Amino acid sequence: MSRIEVRLSGFGGQGIVSAAYILGKAVTLYDGRYASLVPSYGPESRGGASAADIVIEDGPIDYPRLTRPDVLVALSLPAYTKYYGTLSPDGLLITESDLVSPNGSPPQCTHFAIPATRIAESLGRTIVANMVTLGFLTAVRPVATPEAVRQAIASTVPEGTTEMNLRAFELGQEYATERVSAA
């Protein structure tokens, strides 16, 4: 695997930066590769713009910033509108199906819409939609191994929430398996 550029985006309160941190931790501590993380927050803590850029490489990272994302996760319409034009034409676009209605996906990109919030609601906590999305992402594009992500989740999330976060991750993986096999 060579350089992979991933941008997770949405609004504050969706756990965008937490998901990116967990992905970076999975890659570096448990998969033995290199990653850089550059978070970006809006002026508000909840409801403002939020994005996190992750660069993943097998060796040391010479340039830690994204040049043209290979993967864009957009969990809000403003995030999609702001970032979809930066996605590589043959990239992967993942959107929150209940919040984002794309109108002009980049040509040739692969697009999946996932009801991450609804899936998280089935667990009783919409806050784990980020883990549902992370499960989906790692199932359709193996940027990190599932076991590495599980370990990163277990060692990162607040005590008492581990089971729920891991279950959310698994539900995202399962949804991807169902969705990709049906396509």
Show the tokens assigned to 22: 């967990």
Q: Domains in the chain, start-ordered, CATH in brackets?
A: 4-182 (3.40.920.10)
Please compute the mean of the pLDDT values over residues 133-159 and round it to a whole number: 97
In this predicted structure, the answer to whether residue 30 has a pLDDT above a threshold of 70 is: yes
Q: Integer distance in angstroms from the first to the last C-alpha of the chain?
A: 25
DSSP per residue over 26-49, as a string? Answer: IIIIIS--EEEEEEEE-SSSSSSE
Give the mean pLDDT of 53-75. 96
* pLDDT of res. 14: 87
What pTM value is reported for the model? 0.92
Largest pairwise CA distance in the chain: 43
Q: What residues form DSSP beta bridges with 8? A: 52, 73
3-state secondary structure of 21: helix
- Confidence band for 75, pLDDT divided at 50, 70 and 90: very high
What Cα–Cα distance (Å) separates residue 111 from each residue in 30, 34, 36, 87, 95? 28, 26, 25, 11, 8
Mean pLDDT of the chain: 91
- The H or E element containing residue 181 is helix 162-182
Q: With bands split at pLDDT 50, 70 and 90, how would you rate the model's confidence at 150?
A: very high
Place of tokens 């992370």: 134
pLDDT per residue as tens digits for the range 36-52? 999 987 655 556 678 99
Among 80, 3, 71, 9, smallest CA distance to 40 is for: 9
Residue 182: pLDDT band (50, 70, 90) is low
Higher pLDDT, 47 or 162: 162
> Is the pLDDT at 122 greater than 70, yes or no?
yes
Give the CA count within 13 Å in the CB-facing half-sphere of 17: 14
